[in-house]
Amino acid sequence: MGRHRNLAMLIALALIWGSSFLFIKVAVRELTPATLIVGRLGLAAITLGLLVPFVVGTGETARQLRENWVWLLVVALVNTAIPFWLLSWGETRIDSGLASIIQAAVPIFNALIAFVAFREVRVTGSRLVGVAVGFLGVALLVGAQPEGKILGALAVVGMAFCYGVGGLLSGRYLHAARPLVVSFASTAIATLVWLPVGVAEAPSQMPSWKTIGCVVALGIPGTALAYLLFFGLITGAGAAYASLVTYLIPPIALAYGAIFLDERFGAAAFGGLALILAGVALGTGAVGFARLRRAASSG
């Protein structure tokens, strides 16, 4: 029963996060990245803030916020405020499906940064090969972009790098804090960071209902519910199982983009996707040379 529940949660998370690229692409047609972020993260912070007292408790939440405020601030900036803007800005220039492919390289950056600065989770051997393969995929995707779209692709690469740093900082400095508290603090702080710019850049007229619907979808299911599903998977099935969502998001996002936005992708996009996912498989240890040798010998 638990296995089926975990699988259902994994598929639901992939469908939600895969749709985020579509909703961002539609929303940035009328909203600037900063205004979109304020709406999205503001809704997420309110939703998570309503849940925190019941799940964690008001007193315990206040204690964890007080004891971890420095690293909560750092992680909120590195893992939420900056990458959310980079992704939204990047999607003003590149297709949603392409952004989802580049985003799949997050574990590659995680492994590279760990090799350089986080000895306790440093990768070696076949995992380093995976990092190299994944970077080839990223380079192929960025290099294949027309001149006007390269900066957009690089912005999404920057987002993936930020997520890699943020994940490692969270693991090292916020492991004692409850995931729901970290999620609430991250969304609330990032909202406050972008609030002045988001308000200043808000459109003079009410956005269309389609855009408002996209912001609501991004804020409540796309961020608040997705965080709960993701951390629930980590608690129930482990971080390795939860990381499998990395493989599911790009094809789902590509399908959404093709069906609803009429996006089309060439050989470079699918070649880059194949290299990135192969790099993720090797770089995270999901597949290694030793495992492949054992599988070949057993066959």
pLDDT, one tens digit per residue, over 257-283 is 989 989 887 777 788 778 777 776 776
Q: What is the chain's mean pLDDT, rounded?
A: 84
**pLDDT bucket at 240, cuts 50 / 70 / 90:** low
Residue 294 clears pLDDT 50, i.e. is over it: no
Q: Between the ranges 186-200, 238-252, 255-269, where is the mean pLDDT highest? A: 186-200
Quote the CA–CA distance of 255 and 19 in Å, as a whole number: 9
Q: How many residues does the chain have?
A: 299
Number of other residues whose CB lies within 10 A of the CB of residue 144 = 17
Residue 292 clears pLDDT 60, i.e. is over it: no
pLDDT (0 to 100) of residue 176? 84
Of 52-56, 274-278, 293-297, which gets the smallest average pLDDT?
293-297
φ and ψ at residue 150, rounded to 5 degrees = -65, -45
pLDDT (0 to 100) of residue 118? 65
What would the two tokens of residue 126 be? 């076949």
For the entire predicted model, the pTM comes to 0.84
Angle 212-154-255 from CA coordinates, rounded to 5°: 50
Q: What is the pLDDT of residues 146-180, one digit of tens each?
A: 767 889 989 999 998 898 888 888 878 888 888 88
pLDDT (0 to 100) of residue 102? 85
Helix boundaries (H) for 118-208: 126-143, 150-173, 179-200
pLDDT (0 to 100) of residue 23? 96
Q: Between the ranges 76-90, 225-239, 285-299, where is the mean pLDDT highest? A: 76-90
Of 92-101, 189-198, 267-276, which gets the smallest average pLDDT?
267-276
Of 129-143, 168-182, 203-217, which gets the smallest average pLDDT?
129-143
